Amino acid sequence: MAERRFTIADVARRAGVSKGAVSFALNGRPGVSDETRARILAAAAELGWVPNRQARALSTARASALGLVLARAPELLGADPFFPAFIAGVEKVLAARDQALVLQVVTTPEAEREGYRRLARDRRVDGVFVVDLRRDDERIALLEEIGLPAVTLNRPDVPSPFPAVVLDDRPGIAAAVRHLVDQGHTKIAHVAGPEPYLHAAARRQAFTDAMGEAGLDGRVVDGDFTAAGGRDATRRLLTGPDRPTAIVFANDVMALSAIAVAAELGLRIPDDVSITGFDDTDLAGYVHPALTTVRADAGGWGEVAARTLLALIDGPEDADVTDTALPPAELVLRNSTAPTPPTPQETQ
Amino acid sequence: MAERRFTIADVARRAGVSKGAVSFALNGRPGVSDETRARILAAAAELGWVPNRQARALSTARASALGLVLARAPELLGADPFFPAFIAGVEKVLAARDQALVLQVVTTPEAEREGYRRLARDRRVDGVFVVDLRRDDERIALLEEIGLPAVTLNRPDVPSPFPAVVLDDRPGIAAAVRHLVDQGHTKIAHVAGPEPYLHAAARRQAFTDAMGEAGLDGRVVDGDFTAAGGRDATRRLLTGPDRPTAIVFANDVMALSAIAVAAELGLRIPDDVSITGFDDTDLAGYVHPALTTVRADAGGWGEVAARTLLALIDGPEDADVTDTALPPAELVLRNSTAPTPPTPQETQ
DNA sequence: CACACGAGATAAACCGCTTTAGTCGATCCG
DNA sequence: CGGATCGACTAAAGCGGTTTATCTCGTGTG
C-alpha cells in the first residue's frame, strides 16, 4: 500500500502541458483552451489523480472544514436528539462539497474558548457553528476577535456580525399553552431550562406570553434539562401549595421524569396532571401516556446552517449573507394532556 | 484582523540562525546547542509564533486528526448516551495533543464506505475509530486496503490487523440474569439488538449462556434498539403464550418503552414483570420504577481508544500495539426488578 | 603536525499545489 | 502596416514548514 500518488506534475507531463495549465484546467479557471482542458482532464482521469488537500490548503489557506464546539455535560448530550439530527443535516451538505466537520466536545467555559481558539489558530476550520446561544454570549466577540466566520443558531442578544439561521421555538410552546387552556386548565406551570440559554429563555418567554394572552398567570420554576433536575422541579410543583393541573416542560427528558414523579405521588397523567415536553425524542411517543410535545426540524436546521456558513466563507467579501428563517417548532399532540380534572377544589 | 502571522523565517531572523535550526530546535531534535536552542525558543515566544499546521502537514504528510464515521439512524443516535460520552473521552486525549476529531454521520452502507474513503483520500485523518462492529465487518478489509490505521471497539469476528480496545458487555448481562434468577425468576426473556451488531450478539450470547448456567432456557426476540422496536417486542412477549416474568433488554430505550407497554396491559413493574436495561441513560434512574440496568464506561473507552490509536500512528513501524481490556460492564440495581410474583400459575 | 571526526549550523531542496509574471503568436485597429 | 491587445500557455516564485546534503570548526589521534 501507499505507493506514491500521482501529482499535478505527472498529469502535466502526461498531457504535455505545464503544471500551471493543469491547475487552471482542474479549477475551471480561464487560461486554457477547451481542447487543452479536455486533454488535461482526460490525463488526470487516466492516472486517477486526486488533488493533495494539504498542498492545496497551504496555498489557498483554506481548511475545507467547518467546526462545531459543543459545551455540554455528557449527560445532557446523551439524551438530546438535537445534535445527532443537526449534525446529520450538516453532513448532508458537507459531504457533497468535500468538506469535513471537526467536532469538539468540551465541558468548561475555558475549554470552550480554548476550543474555538485552537480551531482558528491551527486553521482547522474555515468557520464554525455557534449553537446553544447564551445571554450576552461572549463567543460572538471572541469569534470576531479571532476572525473566524460563523453562523449562529438563532439570533444572539448581543450585536452580531454573523448570519443567523432562525428556528422559532415559541410557536410550539404557545400552541401547547393554548391547547391546555382550551382544555380548561388555568393553573399551568412551566419547568424551564437553564437560565443562561437563549432557547430556554425563549421558551420561558413564550410560556409567559401565551399565559398572559389567556389572561392567566403561570408559575415558572427552573430546571436544567436533566432528568434529575426535571424530577426535582416537578416534585416541588406537585407537592407544593396550589398544585398546577398542567405543566409545560422545556424539554422531553424533564417531562419524562415527571411521569415517574406523578406515579410516586399517586397522581395520574393526564387525568390529574397534564404535561407537555419539547424535542420529540424517540421515546416520547412510547411512554405511558405518550407524551404531547413540541417538534422542530433539527436536521433541516443543520442543512441550512451549513449552506449559510459555506456561502459566507466562499462568497465574495461584500456579499453579506442574511438571516434565514425556518418553519417554527410545532406541537405534537399525544396523550399526556387532557381536560382539567372535574374537581377543581381538592384540598388534599 | 488577520494581520500576517510570523513564520519560521521571522523566528530564524530574530534568533540569528537559519530556518533549519529553528525547525530542529522547535521539534526537540539534535543538531543545535542548548544555548542556541534556548535563544530560538525565546525568539519564538517573543513573536508569539505558532506553527502553520497546513505547512507542516504538507511536509510530514500528517493530518493530526482522527476520524469517526457513525453509521446510525439519527433516532438511534439521539437516544444513545454512548457516543457523546465516548467522544468526550476521545477529546480529552486529543485536546492535550493538538489533535482534532473529524466526525462523519452517515445513514447508508455506501455512504459509510465512501466516508472512510474520503477521509483517507483527502488525508483528513491519520486514523479512525471503528465502532458498532458488525458480523463479517467489511470495514476491516476496506481499511486495510486503503491503508488507514484504525482501532476497533472490541474485537471483530474477522481477522483484523488493528488493535482492539475491549470492553466486555457480557458480565453485565450475566449479572442481570443471575440477579433475576436469584429472585426466583425462571421465565426470563431477552429483547436483543439488531442481529448484525457484534455488541448485540454478545449481549444475546451472554444472556443465553447465563440462562444455560442456571439450567434455564430463555426466549430471545429481536429488537432494533429503538423505542418502537422495543414496544413491539415487549408487546409480543407480554401478550403471547407463556408470558415471561422478567425481560432483559439490550438497551435502555427499549426497556423504557416496555414500561409503557406493561402499563397499557395492566401489568405492574416490577410486581408482575421485572425488566432490566443496558446503557444507564440519564433517564434510567428517573422513571417509575427506576430502571435496573447495565453500565459501561464509555468515556474511558474513548480515552483508551484515542491513546491506542495515537500510539499506533506515532509509534515506530514495528512496535505492534496490542489489545487493551477495560473493566467490563456492570449491573446497576434499581427498582425495576423484584422477586417472582407469588402466583406462578395465573391463567389470566 | 597532518588527518579524521563529529558537533553545530547553514543553504537548498522538497512537499504539491496556486498564482503571478512573462513569453509568444495571432488578431485587431487606426 | 506597425503597435496595441488578447488569449493560451509556461516558467518560476511562493505558501511555511521539514529534511538532506554540505560546510566549518575545534578536538582527539597516530
DSSP symbols for B88-155: HHHHHHHHHTT-EEEEEEESSHHHHHHHHHHHHHTT--SEEEE-S-BTT-HHHHHHHHHT--EEEES-
Residues A212 and A155 in one domain: no
A222-244 pLDDT, tens digit per residue, is 999 999 999 999 999 999 999 99
Distance, in Å, from the CA atom of A16 to the CA atom of A4, rounded to the nearest integer, reads 21
Please judge whether A260 and B2 are an interchain contact, meaning their C-beta atoms are less than 8 angstroms apart: no
CATH number of the domain enclosing B156: 3.40.50.2300
Planar angle of CA B244, B249, B251, nearest 5 degrees: 165
| Side chain identity at residue B329, one-letter code | A
Nearest CA distance, A3 vs chain B (angstrom): 10
- Residue A291: is its pLDDT beyond 70? yes
SS3 A128: strand
Percent of chain A with pLDDT over 90: 89
- CB interface of A with B, residues 113-142, below 8 Å: 114-115, 118-119, 121-124
Residues B74 and B137 in one domain: yes
- Give the per-residue pLDDT at B282: 94
- CB interface of A with B, residues 161-220, below 8 Å: none
- Residue B347: is its pLDDT beyond 70? no
A327 prior amide bond cis, ω within 30: no
A143-163 pLDDT, tens digit per residue, is 999 999 999 999 999 999 999
Residue A286 inside a domain? The answer is yes
Residues A117 and A246 in one domain: no
Question: Considering chain A, what is the average pLDDT of its residues?
Answer: 94
Bridge partners (DSSP) listed for residue A275: A247
- Residue B317: is its pLDDT beyond 70? no
Residues with Cβ < 8 Å from A235, sequence gap 6 or more? Answer: A261, A265
| Side chain identity at residue B60, one-letter code | T
Residues B240 and B289 in one domain: yes
- Length of chain A measured in residues: 348
Please give the nucleotide, over all strands, whose C1' is closest to the CA of residue B33.
C8
Where are the alpha helices (H) located in A136-269, listed in sequence order? 138-146, 170-182, 198-213, 227-239, 252-264
Task: Report CA torsion sign: A116, A122, A128, A131.
Answer: negative
pLDDT, average across residues A301-313: 97
Q: Find chain B residues with C-beta within 8 A of A260's C-beta.
A: 286-288, 290
Nearest to A42 by CA among A20, A21, A11, A19: A11
CA torsion, points A45, A50, A51, A52, in degrees to nearest 10?
Answer: -150
For the stretch B304-342, what's the b/e string if a residue is b when 16 or more beta carbons lie within 10 angstroms of its beta carbon? bbbbbbbebbeeeeeeebeebebebbebbebebbbebbe
Confidence label for A348 from pLDDT (cuts 50, 70 and 90): very low
- Give the per-residue pLDDT at B201: 97
What's phi and psi for A7, nearest 5 deg?
A: -115, 175
Residues B124 and B38 in one domain: no
Residue A311 inside a domain? The answer is yes
Confidence label for A343 from pLDDT (cuts 50, 70 and 90): low
- Give the per-residue pLDDT at B267: 96
Residues A99 and A118 in one domain: yes
pLDDT, average across residues B23-43: 92
Residue A1 inside a domain? The answer is no
CATH number of the domain enclosing B49: 1.10.260.40
pLDDT, average across residues B266-278: 97
For the stretch A6-20, what's the b/e string if a residue is b when 16 or more beta carbons lie within 10 angstroms of its beta carbon? bbbebbbbbbebeee
* Residues 19-38/B with CB < 7 A to strand D: 19-20, 22-24, 26-27
Segment among A16-20, A120-124, A343-347, B138-142 with least mean pLDDT: A343-347
Confidence label for A220 from pLDDT (cuts 50, 70 and 90): very high
Residues A110 and A186 in one domain: no
- Residue B314: CB less than 7 A from any atom in strand D: no
- Residue B316: is its pLDDT beyond 70? no
Confidence label for A320 from pLDDT (cuts 50, 70 and 90): confident
Residues A336 and A187 in one domain: yes
- Give the per-residue pLDDT at B320: 74
Please give the nucleotide, over all strands, whose C1' is closest to the CA of residue A59.
D15
- Give the per-residue pLDDT at B31: 84
- Give the per-residue pLDDT at B274: 98
Q: Which structural domain range is residue A136 located in?
A: 65-166+298-326
Residues A49 and A157 in one domain: no
Number of domains in chain A: 3
The beta-carbon neighbor of A78 closest among B81, B114, B146 is B81
Please judge whether B78 and A77 are an interchain contact, meaning their C-beta atoms are less than 8 angstroms apart: no
The strand pair at B127-130 and B100-106 is best described as unpaired
Q: What is the largest CA-CA distance in chain A?
A: 93
Residues A145 and A104 in one domain: yes
Q: Find chain A residues with C-beta within 8 A of B53's C-beta.
A: 122-124
- Give the per-residue pLDDT at A197: 96
Q: Look up the pTM and report it.
A: 0.94
Distance, in Å, from the CA atom of B28 to the CA atom of A179, rounded to the nearest integer, reads 68
Residues A162 and A175 in one domain: no
pLDDT, average across residues B143-168: 97
DSSP secondary structure string for all residues of B174-209: HHHHHHHHHTT---EEEEE--TTBHHHHHHHHHHHH
pLDDT, average across residues A207-214: 98
Distance, in Å, from the CA atom of B213 to the CA atom of B207, rounded to the nearest integer, reads 10
Bridge partners (DSSP) listed for residue A189: A219, A247
- Residue A138: is its pLDDT beyond 90? yes
Please judge whether A264 and B288 are an interchain contact, meaning their C-beta atoms are less than 8 angstroms apart: yes
Confidence label for A31 from pLDDT (cuts 50, 70 and 90): confident
Residues A250 and A191 in one domain: yes
A163-191 pLDDT, tens digit per residue, is 999 999 999 999 999 999 999 999 999 99
- CB interface of A with B, residues 36-95, below 8 Å: 50, 52-55, 57-58, 61, 63, 65, 72, 74-85, 87-88, 91, 95
- Tell me, yes or no, if B234 comes closer than 8 A to chain A by beta carbon: no
